[in-house]
Structures are given as C-alpha cells and as structure tokens.
Structure 1
Amino acid sequence: MKVFGFYKSKKYLQRVMFSIMASMVVVLVASSISNTYILEKSVKSIQEESNLKVLSQIQYNLSYMNDIITRLSNFVYRDHFLIPLMFNDDLPKMDLIRGHRQMSNIMESSSFLHSMVIYNKSQSKLYGTSSSLLLDGGETDQRIRSLLLDAKNPQPTNRLIPMSLGQQEGRIDTFAFIVTDSLKPFTSTQSAIILFIKSDWVFESLKKMNVASDRDQGEIYIQTQDGTLLSSDPQATFVSDQAQTQVKKLVEAHKAEETRSSGFFIGQLSGEKEMVTFMDDGLGAWTILYIQSYDKLMGAVNHTRNQSLLISGLFLLLAIGLSVGLSYKLYNPIENMLKRIRPHLPDGKQDGNGAGDELLLMSDNYMKLSEQLSEISSEQIVSKYYIRRFLSDSQLFSDHDMQHLIEKHHLNISVKDHLLVCVLKIDQFSAFGSNMAGASNKLYNFAIINIAQEIMGSHYPCEAVEIRGDHVVLILSPNATDSGSRFEQAVPKLQEIQETIERFYSISLSCGISDVISNYSFLSTAYTQALRFSQYMIVKGHKAIISSEDIKGNLSSKQVSLPDATEKKLAEALKKGQLTNAGNELEKAFSLIAGFQYDDMIRAVSNLAWVIKNAASEINENRVVNFSVDLDYIHQITQEKETLEEMYLSLLSLCAKICEGQRPANMERNEMMLETVKELIEQKFSDINLSQQSIAMSVKLSSAYIGKLFKENYKLSITEYINEVRLTHAQVLLEQNNYTITEIMDKCGYANQSYFFRLFKGKVGSTPKEYRMKKSIS
C-alpha cells in the first residue's frame, strides 16, 4: 500500500510512467502495422510487375497474330483470281469457279482460317467457302449481313471483330477480319474480303498464359471496345452482363485517371475484392485484363499480420514492467531537486502537490524568465517595416509624410543630403537555401545585417534591412568628412563586409551600388537600380562590386542577339563531331554575350542551349544507338548557373559529350559489320566461290572498303582469314580419318589440289597425308 501511495502522490511520476508505456505501445503497434503495410505494398508491387509481364507477352502474341492476318489479307486482296468476285457486275462462270478454287487453296494453306467470304457490292452478293453459307438456306448469309453489312453500324477494317456464325447467341466461335480498298469503316457500299479466324487460334495464347500464370490466382480476359469480356474459359467468372459492366466502368475510370495504356488497381467486382491489371493490346482495339482475387493474394500477408500482433502483445507485457522501473529512475533527479527547493517554498506549497505537479514551481519561474527574455522592441519592427516600404514604394509617400516617419522612428536616413543604396546579394543562393533550414537562414541573414551595419556604420550613418531572404539593402547617408557626397569609402567598406562574412560564415556576397540620389524620395528608384546592377555579377563573377561605371558598355549596348552565322557554325561543328571548332564558336558567342544587357544575355544563352539541343536531336535521329546525354538538363543551366563562365563551361561540357558520343556509334557499326563478315565466312567456307567480292556484295559495301576495314581491325586480309578457317576445318577432318583428301578439299571449298597442299604445308609444316599419318601414329 505504501508503494501504491508513493506512486499515487507523484503526479509527474505518473505522467512519466504513462508516457513511457504509451510510447512503447505506440511504437510496437505502429511497427507491426507499418511492417504489414510495407509487406502488403511490396506484394502488390511484385504482383503488378509480374502481371504486366504476363500481359506484355499476351500483347505481343496478339500483335503477332494480327500481323500474320494482315499479311495474309494483303496477299488475298491482291489475288487476281478473287478480284472478279469482288468487282465484276456480271461474273462469268469460269471466274466464279476459279475464284472458289482459289479460296479453297487459301483455306487449305492457312490452318487458322475458319472460313472466307467475298462481298461484291455491285451484285450485293456474298461468295464464301463454308458449306453453311451455301447449304443452310441463306441463314449464314443473312447472319453475316446483319452483323457486318448493317449501314447503321459500320464495322472497322483490318481488325479482329468477335462474332458468332453458329446458332448459339452470345457464343464467340470466330473473329471477322474485313479487308477493303480504304481504311474507312466498312458498309455495304464497299466490296470487301472477309476472313473468318478460328476463335480457338486467338484464344490459344490466353489458355497457355492462364496455365503459366497459375489458374488458381486469376483469370485473363480480352475486353472489346464495347466492354464485352472474352475468355478462353467458358466457365469464366466475369462474363455476365452485370460483371462486364462493372469491369468496364472501373477500367475506363482508371484509364482516365492515370492517362496510361496499362495499369493496376483494386476494386469490388460481383461483391468481391479483386485485383485488376490491364494493358491495351497495342492495336487500339482491345484491352487485356488479368483479374485476381485480392484475398487469395493477400493470404500470406494476413497471416504475417496476425503473427506480428501476437508478438507485439507479448512485448507489451514486458514493456509495462520495464516502464515502471525506468520511470522511477528518470524521476530521481526531479525528486532530488524538489528536496532542495522545498525549504524555500511558501508553507502551502511545501509538498509540491497543489493544483499542478512537482514541476509547477520550476515552470512558473521559467515562464517569468522567458517573458523577460522574449520582450522584443515593437519600435524596431516598425522601423524595419517602413524602411522596406521606402525601398519599394517611396513614390507613394509625400515628402512631409516620409520626413515625419524618418524623424519619428529615428532612422539613420538623411532628409537633407544625398543618399546611396547598396544591395548585398548572396551568391549561389539556391544552393545555400537548400542546404539550410528556415531557422538557420534567418540566423545567417541576421548576422549579415548586423555585420554590414556595424562595418558600414563606422564611417557612414546607415540603415540595413533584409529583403526576400537573398539580399540585404544598405541605405547610406553622407558623414561630415565626405566632400561632395561622393561616398568614396563605400567600396572599401563593402569589400571589408564581403571578407568578414566569408571568413566567418563562408558566404560569398555580390554587391550592386546605385547612383547617388539627391533625396530620400528616390529611394525605390535607387534600390531598383542597385538590384539590377547586382545581376551583372553574371559577367563580373562572384564577390563583384558593381556600379553603373563598371557596366557602362552593357547598359548602352544595342545588340540583343547573336549573329545567325555563329549559331549555324556551332551546330555544324557539333554534327561533324568537331569539338575544337564547337568550343571556338561557343567561346566567340560568350565573348559577344558578355557585352549584352542582362535580359539579352539570358535570352542569348537560352538560344544557344536550344541550338545545341536541336543539333544533338538531329544527330540522335541519324544514329543506330543514341548517346546518353541529358538534353532536358540543358534548359536548366540558366537557372542553376549564376555566371557566364559557369554557363559556358556547362555548355562546353555538353558539347564535348555530344562530340565524344558520336564515336562509339561508328565503332559499333564497324564491329557489327565485321562480325557479319566473319559469320558469313564461318557459314560458307565450303563454297568454292566464296571470296572478298562475294562477301562485299552480300553486305552491300564495296570490296575495297570492306577489305581495308577488315585488314585494319584483324591485321590480315579477308582471303587470308577464309584460308585460315578452311585449313582449320581441314585439320579437324584429317584427324577423323573418315574422308579422303579429295572429299576434304571439297568440304573445305578447295578445287585445286596443288594450291590446297601448298597452303596446308605453309600453315602446318607438312602435307595433308603426312599430317594424317602423324596424327594416326600419335
């Protein structure tokens, strides 16, 4: 009871114990849930990848089938025996007989054809090969006309159209493939050849992939444009009208959301949670679907989740015991502190168990101290606000109001003399900002403002304020020693500020200095001017101090773009792979750009980037293998790089990659060509007529060029290589002792015995007979 009373009287101790217990519970439960979630997500990802591979193979199979049918249809449509059946108004009997015979021949040569029909629009008649078309009293004829020749429902050409020629409604027993002389939808106003493809041939791929992808885990369907689901299994789950409607809505919604031709989602179908993977067939007609039971796929995940929760429960029991001991150990310093301060507390607070917990007195003292330390001068905040307003909108203030505000807030801005505005801008600000947290940025800006104001204030009355986080503005007033308000010590003081900031914080600053203004009403104009001057750091480099005198040539420049000849020569040099010429043209371009005004500089560099990108794109179009150059990065150069020198080096590096990237493509083409030559020699070495000229004709190149290229790469001629291959095979045949010398010569492509003996002795050192004898003895 004493132990229980002790813990009950210590409110802070109770909170510590509860916090530790709650933390352990949260951590364990969160760990269990997150592990299960990660596992489930991983299973989904792996399953999606696996399903898409299966669908990709089916897509390939369907594309291959369509290609076969298209080739056959093109052949059939041009058959001169079938043309009379399609187009003659009055068909002679012999043409009819020849046409039927030709259709029978085509049917016999194509095992996947179910039947074949020719529609003559002039006669409005169907000529077919199937017995049902000829002998069923016109039922098949009428069925084809109602399904394919309906003027209100034109059918697409050169595509598989699922239909039924049998008597069972809704059962797909064939696919129609309509061939006409145009790509327009087919109606009865056009003559056509209609190939009927066996449905089993189309579904054979689905059957095989169903077996390969584990039939217990899912079913594969083909979805037509109207939402009908076709399957190789007549007992498939989702072939009812309601199920097909649900699948169609879900797939269309997901396609619209993802804007992709393939995808993966989970939805409710026929009251069950299903995992659906879809992919277009590549021809724009069908969608291939793989539907799997979500519960079956996630069975292992659910089992793992249950085990994880059980283990977490066991650990929770252990955590409760640990939390009690750990809490008391953590509470010891608080208990010792309370023992020290209790004698100094009022009588009513000696036990520390008032309305609050044991830390109430310490927190009260802390709050009092915090209030004292956090008092900020509202006058200073208002002063900075008005300085920013003067810099951005000084024209909106009347002279009287502006002078009144300056005097009221005791700003170090002269109301009688000339003024000077300086902008201190942080170099590489984007990189600086990305490496610093928000609080760190504020501390650095605070340090820059104080150091700048202290250094500059030692000589000139000044005000400093930070604007937009990337630059600090100094407003200088003349001191009593300045003659003519020329601010002669402003530049040395700015250099001192730069060196101090860089020494302590490794931050580089560029400076823009406005022209001297006559009074405070022109502050916003001077600020805009100084900020614009600071942009010319792009030419002067980091840590530059820039005034109007330094960029007089840029400000007066009338040139706004590079000469067309320079850009044209750069593009030509890149296409020819001439890095030296490209570098020279790029250097000339940047020399000209350095004299432009700032906006024209940025525009000119962007134009150069487009020239390089367009040249690289043209090079890629004419290459067998594309070189790996990130062409999208080229447009980021003007944003990421701050100086012309950095932009020049980046573009030069890209030019080097483009020029260097062209060499491996030529080498690769040569290697492919030489490998082809060697393969031809290995295959045809027994041909007596094999020679350098015949090989050159085979690869469509000149004999001299292929011979020179082969010699340069392998250090021997094509003829020497042919003899090397032939003599090597002759050695093998001589060792077998199954052929005569004459037979071996014939198999190795030699017709002249003395020539063969001379070459063989030159290679081996003995005649073929001697070589065979030595091998037999050994």
Structure 2
Amino acid sequence: MKITKKLGSKKYLARIYLWFASLILLVTAILSSVVYYNVQEKVFDNEYKNSRKLLAQTKYNIEYLDNMVRNLILSTYNNNDVRALMYLNDDEKFDYMNVINKLKSSVVWSNSFVQSVYIYNNNKKNYYSTYGQFIHKDVEWEKLLQAHGGSIPPLKPIVRNMDVSLDASHVQMEKVLTYVMYELTDEQGRMDGAVILNIKLEWLFNNIKAINNVEMEQLSKMFILSDDQQFMEVNEALSEEGTKLAALLQEKYPTLRAAENYFTIKLDGNKYLAAYITVDHTGWILFKTVPYDEAYVYLNKLRTSIIIITVIVLLATLLVLYQVSRGIYRPVEQLVAQLRSSHFLGEETAASKDEFIFLQDVYKNSAAQLGQFHQEKISGQQRMKNRFLSKWILNSLSVSIADFEASCLEHKLPFRQEHNFMICVLKFDNYKHVTEKSFEEKELLVFAVMNIASEFLSQACYTEAVDLRNDHVAVILQSETSLDHLEALILQLLKECQTYLFQCYNLSITSSLSASVGDHTYATTAYQQALNVSMYRFIAGKMSVLTQGYIKQLGQIPSMDRVLELENQLLEQVRNGNYRGSADKLAALLDEVKKLEYSDMMLSLLHAVNQFKYLVYDLNKSRKEPVKVNTILMSKEMLQIETIGEFQTKWMEVIEEITSDTEVERDRISEDVVIALRIQEMIDERYADLNLGASEIATVIGISPAKVGKIFKAHKQMSIPDYMNRVRLERAVEWMENSQLNIQDIMRKVGFENESYFYKVFKAKFGTTPREFMAKRIKERM
C-alpha cells in the first residue's frame, strides 16, 4: 500500500521517464529506417543546389534581358515620332522612312539582341519594319495574331517563328522572342496601334551558354518551357534524347506540389535528377536535368556509421535518463506541495491528486481574477476619458480651467491650456452603408478610424480622437508651435490617412479642419466650425479635405434672382421635352448653387425640386402613362444625398423619362449618362492609381474599352486620358500649394510615373513648368 501510494503521488515522475524512454526508442527505430533516405536526400540536395545555382543565374540573365526589352519597347512606344506613325491617318503625310531609319540606328544597331522593330498602324493596317522592306508583311506574325483573336497580351514574351528567307525559293525560319506594346483595341478586338519588338532567341541562348560555360556539364541538359507549353533546349537544337526528356518533364511538372524543389524521371532505364525554377513576368519555367551518379557505395558506408553512433548515444541516454527526469520533476513537486498547503485556493482545487491538473486549475483561477480586474479598470478609465472629451467638445464653456487641467492629468491627456487647439471632423462617406452593418462591425470601423487618424496626425501634433456616436469622429489637435504653420502638414497627413483607410478598409472618409483657437473654452466653437465646413462635402465630393479656405475659394455668392432665372429656364426646357437643353440648364443651375452658402444651397435645391414636382404633376395630366418620379427627389431623403453629383444623377433620371420619345431611346440615354458619370466618379476617386485606364474602367463597368471612351467623350467632350490628366494636374497643384513635398513625390501621389511626361502636360495646361510654378508660389508667400 505504501509503495502504491508513493507511486501514485509521483506518477508524473514515472510518466516523464517513460515518455523520454519511448521518445528515444521511437527516434532510434525511425532513424534506423530513414537514415539511408536522409543521406540520399542530402547528396541529391547538394546536386540540386548546384543545379539551382545554375538555374538562378540563367533566370537572372533572362529577367535582365526581359527588363531591358520592356524598358526599350516602352521608350520606343512613348517616342513622339513613333506614336505619330502609329496613329497616322490615310489623309496625313508623314516621313515614315526617316522614323524607321532612326529606329534602326537607335534600337536595332545599338542593341545586338534586337532582330527588328515593327510599328503597327491600325488605321492603315500596315506594319512599318526595320527588317526587310519599310512596309513589311510577316505571315507568321499574322497567323499568331489570328490565333489570339487579333491582340496579344502587352509586354508578354512570345516565342515564334519568323520568316527570314532572302527569296521565295529558299524558305528559312528563325526563332525569335516577340514583345508587343499597345494600350487600346478597336471594336474588332485588334490592337489600335502597337510597337512590336523581335528579339534574337539565338542571342539569348548564346548568352546563357557563354556566362555559364564553366558550370554546364556535358551530360546535363537545360530546357525552357514557355507559357504556351513549347519546350526549347538551351544547349543545342532539340535532340531525340532532349525531345523524350522534354515530354517526361511536361508530363511530370503539373503533378508536383508547390513545396517540391526537384524530382526524378526515368528514361530508357536511366534515372535523371530534374530541378526547375520559374522566371518572373515571362511565364517561363527553366528545367535542368542531371543523370544519377554512382554514389550508393558512399551512402551505405555513411548510413552504417550513423546507425552505430545512434545506438551508442541511445544506451548512454537511457542510463542518465532517470536522474534527468528526477531533476526536471523536483521543482514541480516542491511547487505542488507548497500550493496544496495554501488555504486561499478552495477545498475542491486543493484536493486535486493530479499535479498538472492542479497547477492548471490554480493558473486559470488566478488569471481569470487578474484579467477581470484589469479589464474593469481599463474599461472604466476609457469611459471616463471619452465622457470628458465629449463634454469638452460639445459644451466647452462648462469645463473650467481647473477641471480641464485636472482631467488632462487624470486621463494622461497631452493638452495644455496655454497652447492653441484645432478640431478635425472625420465624416463617413456612404454612411447609409455603414449603418447597415452590425453593431460590432460598426464599432470596429469607428475604432479603426480613430486609431489610424491619431497615428497619422501624431506626426505633426498631439492628438486625441473622440467617438461622438454619429456619422463622424472628432480629433482634437494641439501643438507647442503655431498650428497655423502646421496646417499644410496636417492637410497632407489627412490625405494620406484617407488613402490608407480606403486601401485597407475600403472606407471613404471626408475630412474637415477648423481654424485654430487659443483657449480650451472655444473647443465647441471650433468643433461647430469644422462640422459646418464638412457640409461642403456636398460640393467637393467624397474623400475631400475641407477647410475654411476652401469655402472662400468658391467665389462670389450669386444673387438669388440668377438662381431662380436658371431654375425657370430648366423647367422650360423640361416642359419642351429638350433633353440636351435640360441637361445643360441643370448643370448651369447646379454650378450657380455651388457658390451659395450651404443652408441657402439646400433651400434653393428644395425650392427647385418642389417646382419640378408641380411641373411633373402638370405634365402627367397629358401623358398616357405617368412619369415615375424618383422618390429621393420628392422626400426628406434628398437631404441624405452626400454629393451634388449624386443629386444631379437622380434628377437626370426623371428628366430622361420625361424627355425621351421612346422607351428604347430613354433606356439608352439613361444608361450612357450613368456610365459617363460612373467613369467620372471612378477617375475622381482613383486618379492616383497607375493601373487606371480605359481597359481597367471597362473591366469594372463591364463594356468594351472602345465603347467606354466613346460614351465618355460624347458626354464630357474630352477623352478619358485628357480628363485623367486634368484631375491629376489639379490635385498636383493642390499638393504644391498645401505641402512641403518635392515634385517627384507629388508626381507619384497624383498618378504620374514618367517625369518628362508630367512636365510636358503641366506646361501645356499652366504655361509653366512645375518647378517654376512652385518657385512662384513660394515667392508669393514670402
């Protein structure tokens, strides 16, 4: 009984010893069975590393060539003479021979890897070539284009045959690597102007063999698998053995897992070790095959030595295992004994016989008590802090200096009475969608906005965010220096914060900033000012940054007589069924309304909508089917529309129904207007996106790029690239006037990638270079 009781009180000592013993025995059994395979893998891994090194060098060479070719074709594509030749019309004259000769000297003769350059003119359906005749016809290229539906992915290397025959009687084909660059396609899906660059594939192979000549074994072979499943052998023309190996590689590769770095194949009774690597941007895969060598004798000797050493170590380990187990268990034994003698754990816990279950119960009990205490403490402090900040912002006159200083000290707020304050309001755009989320999701979004905004703005000043349980969050700002001097930096940080929230959380935020106040009792005044400024989101649009200065820039307030005159003209155009005239008059009316103060603006729009409602009622008396007026324009929900652009879209839907002659025409016009407005809104929001273009917009909207450009130009009287450049240049000027960023940073922030092109379009619009523009603004400020 004593022995049983003693063993029961120390059962984990026995378990530790048995666990270690079982582990050692298991390791020994596994080691004896897998040692051969481990050593074999080590040998093969060394061989793989050698192959991988060669493949990595080859990959670098190919990627370096790919990068050079991309830069070369992009620079050629952006050449003004090339673009002029690319879009030359039938009735235009152009010295294309001079352009081709320039390309020969600057591209073909200057780069030994370039075989030829084609300039494709879709208007004339001609290829202007540096190879052969100036107007060249490449039959193999046309076959390839036809197989791909008239266009090939831009900047994608394609291996193809090229006819380089000197005469028709001796046909000679050459393997070339072809790159193509274009931006738009026509209605038939063909490239609307392109640059085609043909690279000598033989030059690439010679380059690889020349650089890796020392490491290329005689028996090893290297293959390239292109993205169209075409195999090429680097060392020589695809031999009979190479053809068979290529077929085995093509069969084996798709079955591999992502973690496998190499594999084996068998050909005619001989094993081969194959390694591979992918080449970025090209879609190619490089393979290297090496025959197995006679390494099994060495592997068997090494395996025997490892097994003997493992057995010796196992026996020695079992001898000392018992003492080690006792040493590990001793602190646990002492701790359990000490805790069992405590009286604060409770009878149920203290009576536990299992040592580790007992310790686990003790830990859970203690951790739960500490966690509950800590959570209650933090939650109470946070509620008190938020309550004080809300009271201060909403009714700052009720907070005395003594209360202010005491609360700042209690809640560890960084604010001081003697420094100026600013209030920033962050208002949720599309707030209706936010309210549709669950309470937990909404709380998470508010928490994210508060923390991220504080993180960004803390780079310029002290900050503290307040959740006011509404459609906005307030941020209190204070700095030891003048906040007026920091306003440009704060505005810049707010724009960066908006961009980050949109990219990471798909959350659109409009920011408004008050003027600085010199006393904590004016915090409510500053908050009301920032809140009033935020109302002008209706004009500026979503994701805008608003200040009192923006309101002043809106210009002279028009007379109400002018607004009423435009309102009457709009109603008259609608009554006469003139769609275009109605659209123009509505745009003119809204342009005048934008200049009013916000309250007058809303009253003017409500009055116009009310008059429009009476007009619709009057028109419905003479119509067979009444017009279904958009309910948003006829109810209080109109006040929930966040931008004047959305308001204009809703109004135009009703005007289109009234003025259209047929159902089909009405649907077509309405659809085109909505598409044009969607394109404009997408450009206004994503102007900084380098990937934004006609193709991207067409993908989002779901129509062809050609139709996107046609609809936008018909309704906006300018092309998509011209409108994008206008928006980007306007944003660039805002950054120049309100930040300390240099020209390169501003250029990238607004979506320009090429500096010379940025300078060109900037000077074309403003008559001066960006550098001269910034220098002039700095001089005006001084």
- Greater gyration radius: 1
Structure 1 length-normalised TM? 0.38
Structure 2 length-normalised TM? 0.37
